[in-house]
Amino acid sequence: MDPNQSETGGPEDLEDEEGPTAPPVEMLDNIRGYEGTVVGGDENYVSPPIHPSDKREQPQRQLEWRIPSITEEAAREALTQFADAHCCYSSHPAQDMVFQDLTPFNMYRYRLETFTETRSTEWAHKPFTGQLVDSAECGSPPLPWEVVVETPPMFQDSVKKVPVPHTAAVKCCHKCKGRGRYRCSQCGGKGMLKCLPCGSRGIVHRNKRCIQCGGRGMKRCGPCLGRGTRTCHVCKTSGYLLFYIQLTVKWTNNVFEQVADQQIGLPVALFNEVSGQNVFADESYQVYTIVGFPDSLIDQISQQGVQEHQEKFGRTACILQQRQTIELIPVTKVHFQWKGQENSYFVYGTENNVYAPDYPSKCQCTIL
């Protein structure tokens, strides 16, 4: 039926109710390699092809990196800024303290990034307005992982939606049955509704005329603006839809990060606020676990991270690239004496942040 013919008929020529919002399953074509694909199937993920891994263990280069302790001047300046940042802390300890010892520590942060690609399919549609139809007559549809999609820059999250070639077909709109509009279900095609404030009597208290309906007892239907019909928002009045299989490609940078905690009394969570120096970087399709690093905790953390990512993404996603880095975070424990009492604090990160939970000069003021 020509959708333009619906414009000459009245509401009585249309269906009593509009069709379903989603197309019924029987409308969807059965395409080889895309069996089970449904409308809105974002979770219909397609398993990636299995490629044999040529990964072999190889020895890691030995790294020797020691951090010298910061100078007394830098340690004093860091504590002075720390005290100035707290309104109830006196700066006298920082100015008058006597240094006893500055002990450096090698703290390392391991980071593994696994850049993955996942693909999912779903049936999609849009109004047909005479555009070209890339149907199966144009060729055999490629399988989901055969569709060529340009990869974005590595280690950056991205999403791209593309139509699968040769899967398109034109079908009658399921919502309006090809008419481009349908009878308004709110008013039953009459264009008018009973006035609820006056109970369709046209008058309210003390026989006053109802201002909502102007005394008529009926008022214009809002959804259809009194026309009795509503235009189809699915096909945009064209009456026909272009169906095709849509491929959604998601690139995700999955991160595993952990600090080798040497239990020196500095909360590990504080390292999230500071930066360090990169002492090791490795990037490959699949990286090797770290072996023989000066801090054996890094070897364990690396093995944990690589194994965790392989088990988590090895079968459900295609691993495109991996990158691992080791960052050395400078930490110095400062021992000092002030007014005859021993005390200590930590200076950590390249920013020289201070952790001093037992700062010796705090006032007991209360901020109202």
Note the pLDDT of residue 245. Answer: 96
Q: Is residue 167 part of a domain?
A: no
Q: Residues with Cβ < 8 Å from 198, sequence gap 6 or more?
A: 204, 210, 212, 213, 217
Note the pLDDT of residue 67. Answer: 65
Note the pLDDT of residue 294. Answer: 86
**pLDDT tens readout for residues 90-102:** 889 999 999 999 9
Which of 104-113, 205-214, 296-305, 359-368 comes out lowest in average pLDDT?
Answer: 359-368
Residue 358 has pLDDT above 80, yes or no: yes
Express as a percent the part of the chain with pLDDT over 70: 88
Q: Is residue 368 part of a domain?
A: no
Asked if 172 and 63 touch (Cβ cutoff 8 Å), the reply is: no
Domain boundary, last residue among 231, 261, 292 = 231
Q: How confident is residue 14, by pLDDT bands cut at 50, 70 and 90?
A: low
Between residues 45 and 129, the one the model is more confident about: 129
Q: How confident is residue 215, by pLDDT bands cut at 50, 70 and 90?
A: confident
**pLDDT tens readout for residues 217-258:** 898 898 888 888 888 999 999 999 999 999 999 999 999 999
Note the pLDDT of residue 300. Answer: 96
Asked if 247 and 161 touch (Cβ cutoff 8 Å), the reply is: yes
Say whether both 257 and 349 belong to one domain: yes
Mean pLDDT of 145-163: 96
Q: Residues with Cβ < 8 Å from 145, sequence gap 6 or more?
A: 46, 48, 49, 119, 318
Which of 15-19, 222-226, 339-343 comes out lowest in average pLDDT?
Answer: 15-19
Say whether both 217 and 258 belong to one domain: no
Residue written as tokens 């010796």? 360
Q: Is the dihedral of CA 200, 205, 207, 211 positive or negative?
A: negative
Q: Residues with Cβ < 8 Å from 265, sequence gap 6 or more?
A: 333, 346
Say whether both 311 and 347 belong to one domain: yes
Q: How confident is residue 51, by pLDDT bands cut at 50, 70 and 90?
A: low
Note the pLDDT of residue 213. Answer: 87
Q: Is residue 40 part of a domain?
A: no
Between residues 326 and 22, the one the model is more confident about: 326
Which of 51-60, 66-75, 205-214 comes out lowest in average pLDDT?
Answer: 51-60
Q: Is residue 35 part of a domain?
A: no
Say whether both 256 and 227 belong to one domain: no
**pLDDT tens readout for residues 283-308:** 999 999 999 898 899 999 999 999 99
CA distances from 358 to 89, 91, 265 (A): 11, 14, 12
**pLDDT tens readout for residues 58-71:** 545 555 556 667 89
Q: Is residue 4 part of a domain?
A: no
Q: Is residue 14 part of a domain?
A: no
Say whether both 220 and 259 belong to one domain: no
Say whether both 256 and 220 belong to one domain: no
Note the pLDDT of residue 166. Answer: 97
> The domain containing residue 226 runs over which residues?
181-231
Structure tokens at 60: 């890691």
Which of 183-192, 281-290, 307-316 comes out lowest in average pLDDT?
Answer: 183-192
Reported pTM: 0.78
Say whether both 318 and 257 belong to one domain: yes
Say whether both 264 and 341 belong to one domain: yes
According to DSSP, the β-strands at 181-183 and 229-231 are antiparallel
Say whether both 257 and 334 belong to one domain: yes
- In this structure, the number of other CB atoms found within 10 A of the CB of residue 146 comes to 11
Q: Residues with Cβ < 8 Å from 137, sequence gap 6 or more?
A: none
Q: How many helices (H) and strands (E) does the chain have?
A: 3, 13
Q: Is residue 161 part of a domain?
A: no
Q: How confident is residue 362, by pLDDT bands cut at 50, 70 and 90?
A: confident
Note the pLDDT of residue 188. Answer: 82
Say whether both 200 and 274 belong to one domain: no
Domain count of the fold of the chain: 2
Domain boundary, last residue among 231, 263, 295 = 231
Express as a percent the part of the chain with pLDDT over 90: 59
Mean pLDDT of 102-119: 95
Residue 346 has pLDDT above 60, yes or no: yes
Say whether both 226 and 256 belong to one domain: no
Say whether both 263 and 220 belong to one domain: no
Q: Is residue 100 part of a domain?
A: yes
Whole-angstrom distance, CA of residue 240 vs CA of residue 75: 74
